[in-house]
Amino acid sequence: MKILITGGGGFLGLRMAAHLAEKGHALRLMGRKPIESPHESCAGDVTKLADVRQALEGMDALVINHMAPRDPDAYATPELCFDINVKGTANLFFAAREQGIRKVVLISSTGTADAPADIDAWCATVPLRGDNLYTLTKGCQEAVAEHYARAVGMQVAALRVGYIVDADQMKDKYGRGVGERAPADTDPRDVGEVVRLCLEREDIGFEVMVVMSTRESLDLWNVRHTTERLGWKPRFDFDRLRAPGESAS
């Protein structure tokens, strides 16, 4: 399968691409700047429909992984974050439909919804909740995704991922070391495997799945729904890190 990954040059994008390539898929990585990678890449702006159309040419599937920079200026006002996160996502779905691409995975966020007492309901699509412009834009991404699945029959999985940490280096995307296990810790390779499983299935309509790597997340965040739906098991449980409250050995 030929797969376009937007935000392909980032911490998560590069690691997802490596995992998908190991599983036999061909990757094209899209970013605003040239990407150093063994995979095909293209420079473009998701807010420009022409760039998106060109990036999607010849692709079989799409992973929407881009987002506005996580710095205060990007989310101080709606202009930049809505342009990149929401308009960019709408452009990608529009162009994918034009080109007959039906399989899409959206990398979303746990911040789109408050976990209710009935955790099973948290995997439903609406209502979405957030408390800042970042989570609002991620919720809008999910709304766009649900529209294209419902209205035109695209197969879309929205993955609400936890906090991304490289389980080998025990560092997050900012290069900061992680010394304590948190329930939401998520290795990029686990995300990549869930992406693969979703794209390779034929029975996805619009589905929300939570992706985290720790044992605690199975029940606290209902990752169990994802494991049962896909027959998937997280590989990187972060058990070698101490849990909150445990003393360092």
Q: Give me the pLDDT at residue 1, please.
A: 96
> Is residue 236 assigned to a domain?
no
Q: If pLDDT is split at 50, 70 and 90, which confidence band does 79 have?
A: very high
**24-33, 105-114, 121-130, 168-177 — which is least confidently predicted?**
121-130
Q: Is the Cα dihedral 204, 205, 209, 211 positive or negative?
A: positive
Picking from 137, 43, 13, 17, the residue whose alpha carbon sits closest to that of residue 84 is 137
Task: Name the residue range of residue 108's domain.
Answer: 2-230
> Is residue 183 assigned to a domain?
yes
Q: How many domains does the chain have?
A: 1
Q: Give me the pLDDT at residue 92, please.
A: 98
C-alpha R_g of the chain? 17
What is the model's pTM? Answer: 0.93
> Is residue 60 assigned to a domain?
yes
Distance (Å, rounded) from C-alpha 91 to C-alpha 201?
Answer: 24
What's 50's domain CATH number? 3.40.50.720
